[in-house]
């Protein structure tokens, strides 16, 4: 797991056998832990892009994160992971029980980002246009605030339902997003994008506000525009 606190970036990798990591949230600030770093990889001899052939296949896992802020415990994109990855165990090593999660944010509705939502029975699920808990569906617009300093912005392109989660901290603004798949800001042209023109606009929207970007299938990286 990678732990980031808002007083400085830490990129420490923990094996699954190490001790639990204490999580805390200072007043008005956030603590971020990467529970699983995602990826997309081809399977030899199989078609990589979904939907092009009936016999296609690929290895895919989402980047799953924990955000602890005042009044909320948020999981980001609890989707597909390898069979030997235990998200609940990783969460507990971060000092949080699955029943303590208050919100689950999903960047879009593809199964590689959503299939483990049910691990968090008490959470309100938040997406690009609404919040859902039990049988209550509540609508919301763009720039929806889950709590102070954590908001949802619409970033369509990959799908029309894409949104990004913006977390403002003392150390900068972190954006969880699928406008790029990985830390290399790839693919340059998304082969699955429903609307590449909208995707370009959404990328600009993210780059205009982010200090750090956490892509849907990769590691966190610093906004390159801020490095010049």
Cβ density class 23-61: b for 16+ within 10 Å, e for less: bebeeebbbbbbbbbbbbeeeeeeeeeeeeeeeeeeebb
pLDDT given for residue 29 in this prediction: 83
pLDDT of residue 24: 37
Greatest Cα pair distance in the chain: 52
On whether the CB atoms of residues 139 and 177 are closer than 8 A, the answer is no
Overall pTM > 0.95: no
Give backbone dihedrals phi and psi of 117, rounded to 5 degrees, phi first: -55, -40
pLDDT for res 39: 97
Q: Would you say 128 and 161 are in contact if contact means Cβ atoms under 8 Å apart?
A: yes
pLDDT in tens, 66-124: 999 999 999 999 999 999 999 999 999 999 999 999 999 999 999 999 999 999 999 99
pLDDT of residue 12: 31
- Residue 126 has a pLDDT of 98
pLDDT of res. 101? 98
Backbone angles phi, psi at 153, to 5 degrees: -120, 145
How would DSSP label each residue in 108-135? SS-GGGTTTGGG-TTPEEE-SSEEEETT
Q: How many residues does the chain have?
A: 228
**Domains, the chain, ranges and CATH?**
2-42+56-227 (3.60.15.10)
Q: What is the pLDDT along the chain (228 residues), one digit of tens a residue?
A: 666 654 333 333 222 222 233 333 444 589 999 999 999 999 999 999 888 889 999 999 999 999 999 999 999 999 999 999 999 999 999 999 999 999 999 999 999 999 999 999 999 999 999 999 999 999 999 999 999 999 999 999 999 999 999 999 999 999 999 999 999 999 999 999 999 999 999 999 999 999 999 999 999 999 999 875
Closest CA to 36 of 68, 73, 82, 72: 82
Per-residue confidence (pLDDT) for residue 227, from 0 to 100: 75
Residue among 60, 58, 40, 62 nearest 48 (CA): 58
* For the chain, percent of residues with pLDDT exceeding 70: 87
């Amino acid at each position: 797991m990678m732990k980031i606190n808002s007083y400085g970036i830490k990129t420490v990798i923990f094996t699954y056998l190490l001790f639990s990591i204490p999580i805390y949230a200072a007043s008005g600030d956030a603590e971020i832990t990467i529970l699983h770093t995602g990826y997309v990889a081809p399977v030899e001899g199989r078609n990589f892009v979904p939907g092009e052939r009936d016999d296609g296949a690929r290895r895919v896992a989402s980047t799953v994160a924990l955000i602890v802020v005042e009044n909320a415990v948020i999981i980001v994109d609890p989707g597909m992971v390898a069979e030997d990855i235990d998200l609940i165990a990783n969460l507990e090593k971060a000092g949080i029980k699955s029943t303590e999660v208050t919100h689950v944010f999903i960047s879009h509705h593809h199964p590689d980002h959503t299939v483990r939502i049910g691990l968090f029975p008490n959470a309100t699920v938040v997406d690009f246009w609404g919040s859902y808990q039990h049988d209550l569906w509540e609508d919301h617009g763009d720039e929806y605030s889950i709590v102070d300093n954590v908001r949802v912005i619409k970033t369509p392109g990959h799908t029309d339902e894409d949104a990004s989660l913006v977390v403002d901290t003392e150390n900068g603004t972190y954006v969880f997003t699928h406008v790029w798949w990985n830390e290399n800001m790839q693919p340059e042209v998304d082969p699955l994008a429903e609307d590449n023109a909208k995707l370009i606009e959404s990328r600009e929207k993210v780059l205009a506000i982010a200090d750090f970007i956490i892509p849907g299938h990769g590691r966190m990286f610093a906004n390159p525009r801020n490095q010049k």
